[in-house]
Structure 1
């Protein structure tokens, strides 16, 4: 995914990002952690990727009939918080995505939807 051609293919194929976001909701911690890491690589690759991730998140959660970012929020709301690494990846993904937004209106649109 780090190669330029591979990343451009992922950027142009939003279904891949939707699939990775869906994996964040898995019951298996290793799958969740790997999906979060890959989404972080995607968002950190270019600031213009943040809107692509937001679009994918909204598409997945709208199909499921729930609020956007629900998979991430479930991780952050866990009461036991045993896996701190998972919490760090989830929060980092949210922060990197929000910092990559082009304007303040987009920022508030995303923050207000959760």
Structure 2
């Protein structure tokens, strides 16, 4: 991922970003930390990657039937806070994603999603 060709491959293949986001919900702390680090590298690589991460997050969480950013909220809601490094990586990813957004509307859309995920992680059932 650190090489230009590798990063361009990831940028052009949103399923890889979706997979990395999915790994943040793993039971293994090492897998979660590694996927968070890779997502941070992805977002830092170019400002245009931030919206790509948001698309990946929205896709994964819509398929799971939960609010966007629910994996990040699960990490941040851990009451014991035993792994501060994990909490720092999660907040760093969120902050860097928000900082790279191109407009204020996108910023508020993501912050609203984060707040909704915190308050009510499940999506309401849809009417048939």
TM-score > 0.5, shorter chain as reference: yes
For the superposition of Structure 1 and Structure 2, which TM-score range results when normalised by the shorter chain? over 0.9
Structure-1 residue corresponding to 2:119: none
> How far apart are 1:45 and its partner, in Å?
0.4
User: Aligned partners of 1:77 and 1:16: how far apart in 2?
Assistant: 26
Structure-1 residue corresponding to 2:36: 36
CA deviation string 1:67-99 (max 9, x = no partner)? 000000000010000000000000000000000
Gap regions ≥5 residues in structure 2: 115-128
Note the 1:78-89 alignment, pairs <5 A. 78-89=78-89
Bigger radius of gyration among the two: 2
User: Aligned partners of 2:110 and 2:35: how far apart in 1?
Assistant: 21
Structure-2 residue corresponding to 1:12: 12
Q: RMSD between aligned alpha carbons?
A: 0.4
Note the 1:54-93 alignment, pairs <5 A. 54-93=54-93
Structure-1 residue corresponding to 2:110: 110
SS at match of 2:48: helix
> Taking structure 1 as the reference length, what is the TM-score of the superposition?
0.99
User: Aligned partners of 1:113 and 1:74: how far apart in 2?
Assistant: 14
Number of residue pairs aligned between Structure 1 and Structure 2: 114
